[in-house]
Structure 1
């Protein structure tokens, strides 16, 4: 079965975990009786976690044609002859309106109908509740045919977690093949050793534990990294440059995060997605580097001058989680330590809570299974 990423915006992401079958159609009948049969509509609808009757009805509404889904046979028919590309385009619009979260873009949403007969999408990842445009023709059909209560959510989460682990292994192998030759590996080891030496020297000179950065050193690192970014350097080129800088790994990663996102207001999460390759190149996929990245985010959020960026912290964490730069155990560890630390009253913990609760729910259900 040929698969594709859910959502047109994710079509080029090789590591995107949410997939659906590519649409297959077949023209049946002749003359006035000609119809288009969407052969695998049931499988597509299952991947989208939406009733196949919704997508079938949507095609009919948009094409101005009669459409019918047979629940017994799983047959999806739309009157007239319609090519696959056109129907696939309409399906993408359906996904954007009725499947993807309007906040983080995640397709893992549930349709809710309020007491006032308003259709909403509740995201299981970031907690955002999206209001569907009730002027759309399909909304009246959904109100008359509300979705059934979700069943087997534990099984679905277990499968999703298993798929996440499988894709993570594939992504790790591909990153190793693309980024690490034997020579590069030696260079990384050398750079790490040199960084550790520099960190000890700086820590001793400043007489501060763990080599905590002075304001002057941090500002110098940020400006130097900004200068490189303005030159349009690639992620791997920036990684090599970071390895030559003075300071601890935490200092350099905190400076890199600020250099990438300084001045950000609205659209923080979208910018993180755009620049995730720089972060991926700068860290190793282990406990230490993930916690360094989380502390860099925490430090940055403590400095932002607007609340707009801080409000998107759950979306930022979700974006990095989807990109396999953060794993749930380290995110939860960082969050629990933060609630007990000196900055326990920071707004960051409150804004991150919806994503943390989603991770904890998935973790607890997995342990029960």
Structure 2
């Protein structure tokens, strides 16, 4: 990848070898190839569970299927359905990334249609949100806020509108952990996602207060880890306090403005 003045000049897509300024379709395709659904370890609660496929396992076919089903159940998803979905996405990417005549907006629309028409099982949506999010952000997520906003929020709202904000918060936590981003930067990262409207103030407060509604939603996502969630909640306090103070200042401003308008009318 060539970088000049902090900007990407061009890069090479791992999925097709195509050299260009990598768009989000290339990034996601590359991430899926580097991080297939099989043979990955994910922390779920206090236990580490491993997503596996039947390749490379020993024992009878029945034993393999039983083991596969048990592990899939532990993370709340059907790995066979997920694999079928990813195969379909890969096929779409392969058609898109080699065709320079397809506009990025059209490509994004095609990918969104793929997501909708596949009619994903409820337990797969959090996993696909994970793949999309982790493909778009790296150890320096702040540089990608503007670039990824429209596409990521569109995907998440198409996939799982009721839990879209929940998926974003848990993926931020997992990104911090996976990329070994220093805890001291968590407030900055969280503020960036807030400033660019990935998450709204009301939902952040619901998360920060560890409300019953938040806990219920979070436990539906396979990334949820209570210990990790509490850790980052404590780190977020300065940022949340700042956010609340800004909201208070805005309310005072609008109240003063309204009073001024009333005074002008009376005069």
What TM-score results when the alignment is normalised by the length of structure 1?
A: 0.33
TM-score (ref. length: structure 2): 0.44
**Structure whose alpha-carbon radius of gyration is higher:** 1
Q: Which has the higher helix share?
A: 2
Higher relative contact order (Cα pairs below 8 Å, separated by 6+ residues): 2
